[in-house]
Structure formats: C-alpha cells, structure tokens
Amino acid sequence: MKESIAIDMDGVMANVEKHFVDWYNERHQENVSIQDIQGKSEANAFPEPGIIKKYASTEDFFRTAPVMTGAVDAVKKLNEHFEVYVVSAAMEFPQSLVEKREWLKEHFPFINWRQIVFCGSKNVIKADYMIDDHPKNLDPFKGKKILFEAFHNLEVNKFQRVKNWKDVLDYFEL
C-alpha cells in the first residue's frame, strides 16, 4: 500500500505570499516587496494590520492565486508514488470553497475529487506525511511533519524544513 501525504494549498501549492504583496501594492499604490515581509507575522506583515485576513475573505483572491514554482510537476510526481491528499483549511473563508475547487481543477487537473479535503482544524487529518507552512497544523499531526518555508515561519526550527518544491522532491528522493 502506498504511503499517504497531506499537502497544504496556501503557501505550499499556491503562492499566496506573492499574491498578498501584489494585491496590497495594487490597492495601496505601494511598493512592498516579498523581501519586506520576511520574518513578520501574518497579522502584521503589511503596514496596515489585518490585510491577510481581509484579502483571504475577499472574492477572487484564492481563485486568482499564482501557482508556487515547481508545484505542478512535483505534486504530479508525488501523486505517482504516494496517496496524495490536498488538505486546505478553507472553512474559515466560505467564499473560498468553490474558488479553491476550481483553482485545483485548473492547475492540478490530475488531482481528483477523492483527493481533496477542505477543513477547519487539521486535527482530524491522518496521513503518513504532512507538508504545511503553519506550525499549528503540523503540531497535532501524528505522521512525519514537513514545514514548507514561508515569510511567517522563518524562526520555527522544530520541523524538517523545505524551502521549495525541489527540496520536497529531494526529501522524498524523487
């Protein structure tokens, strides 16, 4: 039987880091760079607090998010060797449910509906591996935990860290 991997969407398959910066600059005529938000918390990443929650609640944000570099090829490869589940904490933002479903269909058409999970808490998720950018999701997980690097988790050092999808494939020796 194949081992299973639970893969997070935002910050892992979808490059929401870039998307937040782009949306902010466009709406505030600013020039915040990706570099500027490194090491900051999600709540205080931008000069105006709460931007991330605001955009995450806004129609079209998730539907138009760019794909993380290398994600499509890497997930495709993982999907050949593992039982892959895409597990997204989408429930906090109900407008994102359909958008995320459509986004996956467009960018990851080889992921079928049986492999998708939209949840609130990830406490209820069981798999052999979890790839996620949020320590709060990895903490209660019982399998092997892989932290995908993001601006808000640079100082976390209790998990196996991957910086990008190349690192993920190296980790799984693919």
Catalytic residue numbers, as ranges: 8, 10
User: Strand, helix or coil at 144?
Assistant: strand
> Residues 38-77: x/- map of binding to a second copy (CB under 8 A)?
----------------------------------------
Residue 101 near a second copy by CB under 8 A: yes
Q: Taking Cα atoms as reference points, which of 99, 69, 84, 88 lies closest to residue 10? A: 88
Residue 62 near residue 157 (C-beta atoms within 8 A): no
User: How far is residue 82's CA from residue 61's CA, in Å, rounded to a whole number?
Assistant: 30
Could you tell me if 95 and 57 are in contact, meaning their C-beta atoms sit under 8 angstroms apart? yes
Considering only 30, 36, 83, 167, the residue that binds a second copy (CB under 8 A) is 83
Using CB under 8 A as the binding rule, the residues of this chain from 6 to 35 that contact a second copy are: 6
Taking the least distance from each CB to a second copy, the nearer of 26 and 113 is 113
Residue from 54, 115, 164, 169 touching a second copy (CB under 8 A): that is: 115
By the 8 A CB rule, do 132 and 8 touch?
yes
Interface residues with a second copy (CB under 8 A) are 4, 6, 83, 85, 87, 91-92, 94, 97-98, 101, 112-121, 123-127, 142
